[in-house]
Amino acid sequence: MMNSDSMSRIASCNNKPMAVPTKEEEEDPPISTSLLSFDTDASCPSTSPKPPLTNVIFTALILVTCIALSAAIAFGFLFFSSSYSHPSQPISDVVSRPLKKLKRPVVLLISSDGFRFGYQYKTDVPNINRLIRNGTEAELGLIPVFPTLTFPNHYAIVTGLYPAYHGIINNFFLDPNTGEAFSMGSHDPKWWLGEPLWETVVNHGLKAATYFWPGSEVIKGGWTCPESLCMRYNGSVSFEERVDTVLNYFDLPTDEIPSFMTLYFEDPDHQGHKVGPDDPQITEAIARVDGMIGRLIRGLEEKGVFEDVNIIMVGDHGMVGTCDKKLIFLEDLAPWIEIPKDWIQSYSPLLSIRPPPSYSAKDVVTKMNEGLKSGKVQNGQYLKVYLKEELPARLHYSASDRIPPIIGLIDESFKVEQKSSKRKECGGSHGYDNAFFSMRTIFIAHGPQFARGSKVPSFENVQIYNLVTTILNIQGASNNGTASFPKTILLPSH
């Protein structure tokens, strides 16, 4: 053991400041005596003819420790100096940026069907991230309307109306008065209520162009679905062709460029239904969509209009995995009440029941819930049945005679079927309560009227209609959105 005098001498030799690497040395700082925390000054013992073994060992340990600490400090300096030498936070604009080439505002509304919030973190998406980094994002996603299905949500986005008011209450449903069936191929305007954005735009003397948006093929009001600006749905058309068609609109004379455009991709909804939200196929689909956004950005940049166009990228709903073990069978309710197949308008993920007029809907609901709560129905606790007028008000799903009188809310991932079968299935679904986080999708906006690097709270997609009309400086139709909402997300005019 060393005496106190030896210890004090060593301590006095370790008080020299440690050298810090310069900018030029950051990549590979050399090891030099300036990094060693011992002194060769005459006041400190340098060598000894025959130093005791313990002194040699102790000094060696001190030397190794000092070198390690010095290297660690140098590395930390390099890491933090590198981090802070390249600020990543964009500078937010105070007012909207003036147009450089276009004569009037343009909004391009893009839908990536089934793009669940969080998918953007599954893989590298440099183009989507570019829009996020230099634009405005709903930080925890966009909230779809109930039911969280494709047609009700796409039409809610462009009308600002909840499904009970815009009429498309499901992807498939029956008119209770005529018995006629609505399907995703129905283009009779009697089904499609409200005023979609393309109609609003042309009513104000501007041009609109749509590429595969539900409802866009419906001839209604001032919208005639012109052949050159309104594409009839054809799922076999490549994503590349869709993007290139939109880009070609910017080659038109300035006064002919549509002020409002839509662009639609089926992915990743297509894959999500087959394999659920966590399969590698989803990652591939997201990368493909990002590639299309990159193709769009490059094309707009080549035409010199990228910074002039207000791009709004959304999804219509999220996705959740479903498997056989999460099934509820209506036949199991037989001890309480028989629910015939012809009463059912949809099974999952929204149970819709319209019993004959001779049955009391209230009695049917009471008996079904008795069975579901009995503990004798497999997974019965994951289904609750309501009279539509008694549904939670936040769902806004009662003010239409198209909505059947009995609605069953199913917990996420569960499915309702008529009877048990040996069929095996495991995939993905949506349509559940929009309060489930798994049903959220994305909202990403980039352009002269959106702040750079801005994060906003989640909001319902019915707000987008007023957002677009405000950007285009036109008066919109009555809707369920909030008139003041655009002020919370758009930059004030310059």
- Active-site residues, by number, are 150
Q: How far apart are CA 298 and CA 292, in angstroms?
A: 10
Query: With contact defined as beta carbons under 8 Å apart, do 96 and 251 qualify?
Result: no
Query: With contact defined as beta carbons under 8 Å apart, do 464 and 160 qualify?
Result: yes
Q: How many other β-carbons are positioned within 10 Å of the β-carbon of residue 486?
A: 18
φ/ψ of 446, rounded to 5, equals: -140, 135
Query: With contact defined as beta carbons under 8 Å apart, do 115 and 122 qualify?
Result: no
**Measuring CA to CA, which residue among 206, 324, 321, 193 is closest to residue 257?**
206
Q: How far apart are CA 177 and CA 180, in angstroms?
A: 8
**Measuring CA to CA, which residue among 119, 123, 146 is closest to residue 430?**
146
Burial of 186 (0-12, 13-18, 19+ CB in 10 A): middle
Q: How many other β-carbons are positioned within 10 Å of the β-carbon of residue 97?
A: 15
Q: Burial code of 262-299, b = ≥16 C-beta within 10 A, e = fewer?
A: bbbbbbbbebbeebbbebebbbebbeebbbbbbbbbeb
**Measuring CA to CA, which residue among 387, 392, 469 is closest to residue 433?**
392
Query: Which residues have CB under 8 Å from 190's CB, separation 6+?
Result: none
Pairing of strands 309-314, 320-323: unpaired
